[in-house]
């Protein structure tokens, strides 16, 4: 017993310099390995290693096709219903009859919606490098509808030629019938489709950060590397831009759905960081996309449309002056 007690009371073996050196060398080897893997990924381009690149491309394509086939088989009921609807629409589209009027109207609306969704995607895709399609397309469209409604006294423009050309209706509109709500009702479809496109354009940063977090590999993206550095240096941040980025990151991380909704509902040049944050912290897809869609396609679009309306002061100052000069 004494021997056993003595053996139990012996001090534990301390980590010597040799063990510490082995730990440092192991960390160094891991970093070297990761750097080597990153350089090898960067070298996998078609003009440097075409055979290897095409080989991995075909393998990845086969793997993805297998995964998608399995997922479609799991949802075969929804796939069957989708195919039936496509077949019915194809038959209705190719068959002559009285229903062709409705088919042409539906086709025109779908093409019109796809046009604005595409412009919205071009506006937000590319981590802030997209086209400013609101200033180039949607803003002028709202402005032209606003001016035409003021001149015509109505928003009941005949279709066709609207929206390709705005022609005043034959019947005269009521005086004072033009308001912010009537104009927003006229352009709501275009504005909401554009906003939905901007929400879709915010998905690449989310998927990039989510895939990087799940794989454990360092992503070859400057914005994500900047995000990682910002998280590491969060305590010593002093400049306004870094603090603003940290504010967006903390709001999204702590508040969740409503934090994403708040960031998406205002013109926010840092919203790409919100998508990277949600992907990095594995926020569920529908939580991120649902809040982004509601914020950009509904709330933000009405705010931006209101600003376009307010840029024409004669639309609301003149009725206001008439009301003040002739009080009830």
CA distance 192 to 116: 9
Give how far the C-alpha of residue 73 lies from the chain's centroid of Cα atoms, to the nearest Å: 28
Q: What is the pLDDT of residue 252?
A: 73
User: 221: which 2 tokens?
Assistant: 């993206």
CA distance 295 to 199: 9
Q: What burial class does residue 288 get, using C-beta atoms within 10 Å of its C-beta: 0-12 exposed, 13-18 middle, 19+ buried?
A: buried
Question: Does residue 188 or residue 327 have the better pLDDT?
Answer: 188
The DSSP code for 220 is: S
Question: Does residue 120 or residue 152 have the better pLDDT?
Answer: 120
CA distance 15 to 301: 62
Q: What is the mean pLDDT of the chain?
A: 76
Q: What is the pLDDT of residues 42-73, one digit of tens each?
A: 777 778 888 888 888 899 899 989 999 999 99
CA distance 45 to 308: 46
Q: What is the pLDDT of residues 275-289, one digit of tens each?
A: 877 887 788 889 889
Helices (H) and strands (E) in the chain, counts: 16, 0
CB atoms within 10 A of CB 278: 28
Q: What is the average per-residue pLDDT within 28-35?
A: 75
Q: What is the pLDDT of residue 66?
A: 93
For every residue of 85-140, DSSP letters joined together read: HHHHHHHHHHS-STTHHHHHHHHHHHHHHHHHHHHHHHHHTTTT-S--HIIIIIHH
Residue identified by tokens 């042409």 is 104
How far apart, in Å, are the Cα atoms of 172 and each of 175, 224, 257?
9, 57, 47
CA distance 106 to 92: 12
CA distance 1 to 167: 106
């Amino acid at each position: 017993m004494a021997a056993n007690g003595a053996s139990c009371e012996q001090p534990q073996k301390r980590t010597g310099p040799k063990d510490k050196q082995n730990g440092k060398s192991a960390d160094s080897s891991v970093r070297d390995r990761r750097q080597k893997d990153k350089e090898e990924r960067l070298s996998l381009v078609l003009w440097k290693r075409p055979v290897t690149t095409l080989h991995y491309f075909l393998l990845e394509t086969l793997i993805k096709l297998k995964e998608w086939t399995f997922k479609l088989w799991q949802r075969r009921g929804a796939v069957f219903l989708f195919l039936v609807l496509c077949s019915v629409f194809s038959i209705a589209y190719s068959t002559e009859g009285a229903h062709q009027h409705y088919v042409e109207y539906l086709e025109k609306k779908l093409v019109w919606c796809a046009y604005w969704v595409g412009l919205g995607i071009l506006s937000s895709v590319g981590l802030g490098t997209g086209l400013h399609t609101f200033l180039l397309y949607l803003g002028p469209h709202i402005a032209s509808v606003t001016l035409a409604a003021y001149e015509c006294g109505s928003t009941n423009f005949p279709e066709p030629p609207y929206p390709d050309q705005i022609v005043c209706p034959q019947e005269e509109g009521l005086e004072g019938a033009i308001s912010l709500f009537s104009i927003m009702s006229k352009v709501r479809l275009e504005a909401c489709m554009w906003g939905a496109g901007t929400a879709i354009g915010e998905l690449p940063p989310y998927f990039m950060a989510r895939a990087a977090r799940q794989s454990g590999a360092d992503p070859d993206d400057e914005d994500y590397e900047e995000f990682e550095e910002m998280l590491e240096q969060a305590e010593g941040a002093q400049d306004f831009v870094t603090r603003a980025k940290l504010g967006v990151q903390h709001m999204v991380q702590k508040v969740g759905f409503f934090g994403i909704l708040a960031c998406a509902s205002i013109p926010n040049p840092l919203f790409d960081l919100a998508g990277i944050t949600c992907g990095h912290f594995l926020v569920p897809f529908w939580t991120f996309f649902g809040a982004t869609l509601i914020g950009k396609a509904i709330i933000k679009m009405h705010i931006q449309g209101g600003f376009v309306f307010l840029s024409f002061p004669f639309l609301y100052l003149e009725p206001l002056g008439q009301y003040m000069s002739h009080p009830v």
